Amino acid sequence: MPIAFKRRIIILFSAFAIAAAAVCALTAKGASEQTGYMTVSPGDSTVFFREYDLRIRGWDNGTGTVFFIPSYINLKALDQTDSPIKICGSDGQIMTEPSLNEMQDIIVRDPEGNETPWKLGFYSSENLYTIDITLDGIGIGDIDHDVYSDAVIDIHSPDGRRTYHDKDAAIKGRGNSTWESAKKPYEIRLSAPGSLCGLKTSGKWVLLANSYDDTKILNKLAFDLSDRMGMEGTTDSEWADLYINGEYCGNYLLCKEPSLKNFKEKITDLEDLNEPFFDPEAVFADEEVKGYLYRDAPADISGGYLIEKNWNQSFFEKKTGFHAGGYCFTVKEPDNASMEEIGYVRDYFEGIDDAIQKGEDLSRIDFRSFSRRFLLEEFLYNIDYGRTSCFFYKKQNDDVLYAGPCWDYDLTCGRVRESSFNDYTGSLLRQEKSDAYPEILKWDRELLENGDYRRSLYAEFRKLIPLLQDAYLKQVDAYRDRIGASLAMDALRWSREGGSSYRGYYSDPDNKYRHVKFFLNKRLEHLMELCETASVAADPGLDRDETHRLTFITDEGEEIVREVKDGSQLKEEELPEYDRAEHEEGWICEYNNEAFSYYIPVYEDMVLILR
pLDDT at 6: 31
Q: Note if the bond before 576 is cis, omega within 30 degrees.
A: no
Label the pairing between strands 238-244 and 247-255. Answer: antiparallel
Give CA–CA dist 321/452, Å, rounded: 31
Confidence of residue 251 (pLDDT cuts 50, 70, 90): very high
Q: Going along 246-310, which residue ranges are E strands?
A: 247-255, 283-285, 289-292, 305-310
Work out the mean pLDDT of the chain and round it to a whole number: 89
Tens of pLDDT, residues 85-103: 788 888 888 887 888 899 9
Among 17-26, 54-63, 252-261, 496-505, which range has the highest average pLDDT?
Answer: 252-261
- Say what the pTM is: 0.91
Does residue 575 carry a pLDDT above 90? yes
Q: 73-82, 91-100, 189-198, 204-213: which has the minimum mean pLDDT?
A: 73-82
Mean pLDDT of 136-143: 95
Does residue 502 carry a pLDDT above 60? yes
Q: Calculate what percentage of the chain has a pLDDT beyond 70.
A: 91
Tens of pLDDT, residues 414-429: 988 667 788 999 999 9
Question: What would the DSSP string read from start to end of 472-505?
Answer: IIIIHHHHHHHHHHHHHHHHHHHTTTT--S---S
Give CA–CA dist 93/147, Å, rounded: 50
Q: 111-125, 245-259, 286-300, 393-407: which has the minimum mean pLDDT?
A: 111-125
Confidence of residue 39 (pLDDT cuts 50, 70, 90): very low
Question: Between residues 43 and 309, which one has the greater pLDDT?
Answer: 309
CB-CB contact of 403 with 366 (8 Å): yes
Give CA–CA dist 66/79, Å, rounded: 18
Question: Between residues 500 and 408, which one has the greater pLDDT?
Answer: 408
What's domain 547-610's superfamily in CATH? Listeria-Bacteroides repeat domain (2.60.40.4270)
Angle 228-233-239 from CA coordinates, rounded to 5°: 70
pLDDT at 404: 97
Mean pLDDT of 280-293: 95
pLDDT at 52: 82
pLDDT at 497: 57
Indicate the domain borders of the chain: 3-124, 270-447, 547-610
What φ, ψ does residue 226 adopt, rounded to 5°? -60, -45
Tens of pLDDT, residues 427-461: 999 999 899 999 999 999 999 999 999 999 999 99
Give CA–CA dist 51/67, Å, rounded: 17
Tens of pLDDT, residues 314-341: 998 899 999 999 999 999 999 999 999 9
Tens of pLDDT, residues 474-485: 999 999 999 999
Question: Between residues 31 and 127, which one has the greater pLDDT?
Answer: 127
Mean pLDDT of 222-247: 97
Confidence of residue 78 (pLDDT cuts 50, 70, 90): low
pLDDT at 115: 87
For residue 269, the tally of other CB atoms under 10 A from its CB is: 17
Contacts for 448 with CB less than 8 Å, ≥ 6 apart: 429, 454, 457
Mean pLDDT of 147-158: 97
For residue 536, the tally of other CB atoms under 10 A from its CB is: 10
